[in-house]
Amino acid sequence: MLAGGRASRNDAVPTAYLATLDDRHATLALRACLLAFFANPKRIVPRQFQLEATLALADGRDVIVDCGTGSGKTLCQILPNLLFPTTSSLTISPLKRLQVVQVRDAAEFESWGIKTVCINEDTPNDSELWNRIRDGHFQHLIVQPEQLKVFQGHLPRLARLLDIPKFIKTITRVHVDEAHNHVLAGLPRFGLPPFRPAWGSLIDLRFRLPKGIPVQALSGTFPAHIKSTVIEHLHFHPSKFLDLKLSSNRSNTIYATHRIVGKLSDFRNLNFLVGSPHTYLRKAIVFHDNRQESAAAAAHVDQLLPRHLQKTGIVCHYHSGMSKDYLTKIFDDFSNPNGTCKIIHGTEGASTGLDVSDIDAVVDYGCTQNMSTALQRGGRCGRRGQESLYLVMVEPWVYTASLEAVDANCTDPDKPISGRLIKTSKKPERTGLAMVLYVRSEVCLREMIRRYLSDNSPQALDASTWCCDRHHPTDPSLDYDKSAFFPGKFLYLSDDGAVWAGDEEDAERAMLDPPKGEKRKRRRGPTNRPVDDRVELHHLLKTYLEKAHASDPLRAVRTRTSILSDTALVTLATAHPTRIRSIGDIVNMLEETTEWEEEWGSQVFNVISEYDVDFVPPVARTKRTKGKNKAKAMLSEDDDEDDDEVYDAPRQNPLLEVSSNVRRTARKGKASWKLRPQE
């Protein structure tokens, strides 16, 4: 909701500020207050910083709006349109993949009577629409930066309009929303190229617009090193631009960290999201580093629910590999306070624009690579003022990584702890210093955030009830036990190597894994199917696909790849039989939807299961030996009960009653080509 809120007896016009203005500016400010109050049913009363930003634009001055998520930055973009209805604004905004999000963004401005259109790669090539854009019919254009210059070898239609003087004259001001992306996404950093270079080319737009068009840069995370770069690259006049800074602190948000036990792939680390027995759920977003992890984690958490609640949409994965229809469906449900979906496992790219007011918790599953991204994510919870928690779950290496490579004189706190990066640098090398220090901190986490943002305001350390999970010697009442927030138990590792559900002070904690030495380590089975077995299974799956599509009543509008893509065929043919023991394994492996599972899952599983019905699991291989040691090794193979590593042979799939005329034969030498190994 826009800052300012509904009008009340205590929510008055900032008269003290108005008294400092000359007649012209005071008149504009009062008009802005009246228009904001009557133009929207919410009866908004602008705050002082919103009026300051508006008046600066009216004077042709550039503006930095540095204030937290949900503080009212959008009103800074709305007020100029209300004051000067015959002029147009151009807002550069991050990618919002879902049409429903774009419609929501436009609808917010439309609710104020401001004609708005969103322009991205999906904007229809409608001559009438583009003629209206060219002629200045819309007061507000919300555009992706990629639409302003050559992108993927093509010159977008909006970029072509920038060469037409008639269109250029309609643009009166430019807003750069989420302006930190200019640095984080648009510029080379630490040896790596930008992943969205269009963000780094915004100065080109400024050069194409008439001289004197003001630019307003807005962000909820503007640490000093990012802000100074934006000011320099966008050519803000050092003595004329207005720098507005409000505290980004959200007093209702509690901050916490937790050390992951073992690896990220051990999703028992997420069991705290669901209680046993099931009682309630916190509405939450869990961020993951990649699509596969988000899908697998969602499947694990869903299985923690009572059986009758599983696969009902309470827990969903959400990433850019899913169809737009699926993402829109999940977005609508999660955005609805009465919706079914309560927990989303997503990735950063897909979750852009997933701004929902009743989110109780944001969880980073794995250390975030830089502090700016972490704070952007943490700002998604508690937006309606409810008690909320931002939790960073970190891998064990974060606590032991060396910081010797970090330049002590570096002014960028997000500089990777390894120094300079290359394309193949791993996550531990890419993680920024500020994030590592935040996780390792023994002092207040809110204080660490204050330092990062250079927030010296009196409100920077305010906390509604609790502050964070660190100890506060001067006020222990601010200490918070994160286990009280979620219905389930966190995982802990004791000194002897035992894994526990619940910390040592929890009287009901349970041991999940015994101490080291009491249980033999198990060797993981093979990941991929033997190469000689892949070709025939690939052929069988392809034959099935052709028959399934031929008999599909929707084949006229549904292609074969919507059933199984070429990549999916390779993935299934490559996966080792022990990795496909159920339909759910296939669904998770292909990251498919529930609808796909119901329609095609059992058929695909039957093809693979029948092929593997006489599969014999390989025995554990011993180290290669030569000469006289070989006989000794062979004699000792049967006497290996005390070995620390034991491979448990998986159970074979039951014989399915499916007819087939395919004989399994020795396949060595039959393949004239090889499938690409699964990554």
Of the candidates 122, 235, 145, 267, the residue with the CA atom closest to the CA atom of residue 196: 145
Q: For the chain, what are the domain ranges? A: 15-245, 253-404+432-513, 520-633+641-679
**Cα–Cα–Cα angle for 438, 441, 446, rounded to 5 degrees:** 65
C-alpha R_g of the chain: 29
Residue 478: strand, helix, or coil = helix
- pLDDT of the residue at 518: 63
Torsion sign across C-alpha atoms 368, 369, 374, 376? negative
φ, ψ of residue 575 in degrees (nearest 5) = -65, 140
Q: What is the pLDDT of residues 389-398, one digit of tens each?
A: 999 999 999 9
Give the DSSP per-residue string, 335-360. HSTT-S--EEEEETTTTTT---TT--
Cα separation, 68 vs 248, whole angstroms: 4
Q: Would you identify the CATH topology of the domain 253-404+432-513?
A: Rossmann fold (3.40.50)
Region 169-173: mean pLDDT is 94
Cα separation, 663 vs 610, whole angstroms: 11
**pTM of the prediction?**
0.75
- SS3 track for 195-224: CCHHHHHHHHHHHHCCCCCCEEEEECCCCH
Q: What is the pLDDT of residues 214-232, one digit of tens each?
A: 999 999 999 999 999 999 9
Residue 496: strand, helix, or coil = coil
Task: Please give the residue that has the higher pLDDT: either 555 or 656.
Answer: 555
Long-range contacts of 312-315 (CB under 8 A, 24+ apart): 312/340, 313/340, 313/341, 313/594, 314/281, 314/340, 314/341, 314/342, 314/343, 315/341, 315/342, 315/343, 315/345
Q: Are 55 and 244 in contact (CB under 8 A)?
A: no
Per CATH, the architecture of 15-245 is what? 3-Layer(aba) Sandwich (3.40)
Q: What is the pLDDT of residues 445-503, one digit of tens each?
A: 999 999 999 999 999 999 999 999 999 999 999 999 999 999 999 999 999 999 999 99
Strands (E), 179-314: 215-219, 242-245, 253-259, 284-288
Identical fold between 15-245 and 253-404+432-513? yes
Is pLDDT of 617 > 90? no
Cα separation, 1 vs 14, whole angstroms: 20
**Region of residue 51 (left: phi > 0; alpha: psi -120 to 50; beta: else):** alpha
- pLDDT of the residue at 553: 84
Is pLDDT of 668 > 50? no
Cα separation, 273 vs 270, whole angstroms: 6
Q: What is the pLDDT of residues 406-453, one digit of tens each?
A: 887 888 999 999 988 988 999 999 999 999 999 999 999 999 999 999
pLDDT band at 92 (very low <50, low <70, confident <90, very high): very high
